[in-house]
Amino acid sequence: MATKTRPETLQWLGETDGCLRLIDQTLLPLECRQIDCPDVTAVWEAIKQLRVRGAPAIGVAAAYGVCVGLQTSANADRAVFDEQLKKTTAYLASSRPTAVNLFWALERMERVGMHDAARSSAERLAALLAEARAIHEEDRAMCHAIGEHGARLLASGDSVLTHCNAGGLATAEYGTALSVFFKAHEQGKKIHVFVDETRPLLQGARLTAWELMQHGVPATLICDSMAAQVMKEGRVQAVVTGADRIAANGDTANKIGTDSLAVLARAHGIPFYIAAPTSTFDTSIQSGEQIPIEQRQAEEITCGFGKQTAPDGVAVYNPAFDVTPAEYIQALITEHGVISPVNQKTIALHLSLAGEQA
Amino acid sequence: MATKTRPETLQWLGETDGCLRLIDQTLLPLECRQIDCPDVTAVWEAIKQLRVRGAPAIGVAAAYGVCVGLQTSANADRAVFDEQLKKTTAYLASSRPTAVNLFWALERMERVGMHDAARSSAERLAALLAEARAIHEEDRAMCHAIGEHGARLLASGDSVLTHCNAGGLATAEYGTALSVFFKAHEQGKKIHVFVDETRPLLQGARLTAWELMQHGVPATLICDSMAAQVMKEGRVQAVVTGADRIAANGDTANKIGTDSLAVLARAHGIPFYIAAPTSTFDTSIQSGEQIPIEQRQAEEITCGFGKQTAPDGVAVYNPAFDVTPAEYIQALITEHGVISPVNQKTIALHLSLAGEQA
């Protein structure tokens, strides 16, 4: 597998007394450097500063973050361990407000940590690490399954467009949208990927282009504003992106610019697909209107290239996400298959079948 | 007038023995420094190095450049003056080989310089300066007229969105799209402008945001990928951009990303306007399909602003322009009024009435 040519996105070193090692994605593509997070502050900082990013990878990082945060409590009494567990999960939850996988992973860790309180703190810590490893391994398997299901939607000779980074760097391995391309490529289909650079943080230029090149998949970088032109020239046959959160009705939150691509794809008669694990679905919210949009700092736009590129004091609007209405999504691709058409009923059915399989 | 708070884009100092002073736009928005061009080499360099940019502004700069180049020939005999005039215009024409306004202005200057050869060289030099001043003044008047016509389309309280820089820095004063906002603002209308940063060269972030702030017009900078979100949130009531070339049927070439905005504006029920002088119409071409799209260097995208942001050797597609179909344009705003609906007949009528007025 070509992914072996680069270090893993996330790696646990040691046993219960261990440390989370991750690729510092802020340094890519110029440098592929790993950093170690020996305490929970370092994990929080890595998530906050986008050293690790992408909903599933954040979930895995947070799960290991709980282990890192609890390892000093291996000999603590039950009340102290409980308190430390709650403090740690609450702290990690404060790192990225829109990331549903973060909350999902933290709740799962908290359930395991609280479960069977008769066990010793050391046993509970071991259970937490086992759970984090399970989350990591499940994510890896999930990504491969998403790729297999999604690859069936692409024909040899197709060019596709993607936005941001829904790749192996955003997950345990392979990613969601990129897994579709990797699997199609491995199946021998001739696939070419147009990559939106994805302002302001350039995850497309820095990460997606890098991952595709590492994997040997032909890729062409464009500015976000060029997607419509590429579509108009007939250069792409599908758009595939990841997702940060999917409401019960299929409305999908993803990196700012995704909804724009969906509207443009519709106007040019090109199918628009979302690839995401079922953990991305948040059926507690009925529609995208209830998804809060994280606002980020002005400096990401005004000082984005190591150089100030806008006037001092300029007002900036910097929403990190947008919501693509379900009606613009041709299909949702999950680890259990393809949902199409996309609506509340088809999603509920898919999730209930997935639940039976699980 | 608020524009008095900043120096003019282009300024002639002195009389026939003078010098061209201009804002060095490569230093904006961090520094607003004027440079003097006392000889024709300095004018050539300023155009070549994009210290002055924007088709109309380049035309004005080149016209003054001819004056600068001829002033050492005020006492020359006829043959020497003629030779120097030809040498100067040919030299200036080599600064930006694709700028149509540059050739247009230089041809106009050459015609005036050659005319009535019985006059003395000093008289001919004076005629050249008068012509350069006329080109400058005509451009200024044209921009103000575009603004007056366009401002009628905006209501107090409107927010608008613009792309790239169609401002005073690209013209003698006020610009085209920005003139619409400046005039509405001067009329006491409450106007707020969302500014696309405009990748890859960031003319929106660097120049448009600066011009609006200098003028006291409330402005908010966004990334190009955020325009759809701003529209969806009901934050803009109109989109106004400039144009590089308009075909006989109204199809309009402008900075890459413009067509994308037009499609998105349509999807969100927002009117999309183009503001441009009648000199931008090229009725020799029937439709946008005949407009060639300039492809630019990969480095504009991969190495924007002093830092490499994409992997070594990545393939890049970098079209400089796109073409917005006439059907997406609610109205064209020229110095003679507003064309709506936009089609071959309404454009032909507008241009013939404009010709009668001229």
Asked if B260 lies within 8 A of A302 by C-beta distance, the reply is no
Same domain, B221 and B160: yes
Note the pLDDT tens digit of each residue in A297-311.
999 999 977 789 999
Same domain, A61 and A160: no
Q: How confident is the model at residue B97 (pLDDT cuts 50, 70, 90)?
A: confident
Same domain, A136 and A206: no
Note the pLDDT tens digit of each residue in A150-165.
999 999 999 999 999 9
Q: How many whole angstroms separate alpha carbon B356 and alpha carbon B175?
A: 24
Same domain, B112 and B195: no
- Whether the CB-CB separation of B35 and B9 falls below 8 Å is answered with no
DSSP A7: -
Contacts of A1 (CB under 8 A, 6+ apart): none
Asked if A222 lies within 8 A of B301 by C-beta distance, the reply is yes
Same domain, B193 and B122: no
* Residue from B139, B196, B244, B322 carrying the catalytic annotation: B244
Asked if residue B328 is part of any domain, the answer here is: yes
Q: In the predicted model, what is the mean pLDDT of chain B?
A: 94
Asked if A225 lies within 8 A of B257 by C-beta distance, the reply is yes
Parent domain of A49: 10-143
pLDDT score of A102 more than 50: yes
Asked if residue A5 is part of any domain, the answer here is: no
The whole model's pTM is what?
Answer: 0.91
Strands A19-23 and A245-247, by their bridges, are: unpaired
Complex ipTM over 0.90: yes
Asked if residue A48 is part of any domain, the answer here is: yes
Chain B residue with the nearest C-alpha to that of A214: B311
∠ CA(A162), CA(A163), CA(A166), 5° rounding?
85
Final residue in a domain of this structure, among B93, B118, B143: B143
Asked if residue A2 is part of any domain, the answer here is: no
Asked if residue A311 is part of any domain, the answer here is: yes
Cβ contacts (< 8 Å) between B315 and chain A: which residues?
Answer: 218-221
Note the pLDDT tens digit of each residue in B139-161.
999 999 999 999 999 999 999 99
Chain B residue with the nearest C-alpha to that of A319: B226
pLDDT score, position B358: 63
Asked if residue B96 is part of any domain, the answer here is: yes
Cβ contacts (< 8 Å) between A307 and chain B: which residues?
Answer: 305-307
pLDDT score of A54 more than 60: yes
pLDDT above 90: percentage of residues in chain A: 88
Which residues of A are identified as catalytic? 244
Note the pLDDT tens digit of each residue in B276-309.
999 899 999 999 999 888 898 999 999 976 789 9
Average pLDDT over residues B49-74: 95
Asked if residue A33 is part of any domain, the answer here is: yes
Contacts of A228 (CB under 8 A, 6+ apart): A264, A268, B257, B259, B260, B263, B322
Same domain, B81 and B103: yes
Domain count, chain B: 2
Asked if B225 lies within 8 A of A222 by C-beta distance, the reply is no
pLDDT score of A3 more than 60: no
Same domain, B88 and B204: no
Same domain, A106 and A83: yes
pLDDT score of B15 more than 90: no
Average pLDDT over residues A203-221: 96
Asked if residue B2 is part of any domain, the answer here is: no
CA dist list (Å): A133 to A12, A16, A146, A254? 8, 11, 20, 26
Cβ contacts from A onto B, under 8 A:
185
Residue A158: exposure state from Cβ atoms within 10 A (0-12, 13-18, ≥19) = middle
pLDDT score, position B227: 98
Final residue in a domain of this structure, among A100, A125, A143: A143
> What CA dihedral angle connects A200, B276, A266 and B249, to 10 degrees?
-160
Cβ contacts (< 8 Å) between A223 and chain B: which residues?
Answer: 199-200, 224, 256-257, 301, 318
Cβ contacts (< 8 Å) between A318 and chain B: which residues?
Answer: 222-223, 226
Same domain, A172 and A270: yes
CATH number where B215 lies: 3.40.50.10470
Asked if B225 lies within 8 A of A198 by C-beta distance, the reply is yes
Same domain, B251 and B178: yes
Q: In the predicted model, what is the mean pLDDT of chain A?
A: 94
Same domain, A77 and A130: yes
Tokens at A34, concatenated: 């790993």
Asked if B230 lies within 8 A of A310 by C-beta distance, the reply is no
Query: DSSP letters of B188-237?
Result: T---EEEEE--TTTTHIIIIIHHHHHHTT--EEEE-GGGHHHHHHTT--S
Final residue in a domain of this structure, among B128, B143, B158: B143
Q: How confident is the model at residue B3 (pLDDT cuts 50, 70, 90)?
A: very low
CATH number where B64 lies: 1.20.120.420
pLDDT score of B4 more than 50: no
- Whether the CB-CB separation of A277 and A104 falls below 8 Å is answered with no
Same domain, A106 and A227: no
pLDDT score of A15 more than 90: no
Lowest mean pLDDT among B98-102, B196-200, B332-336: B98-102
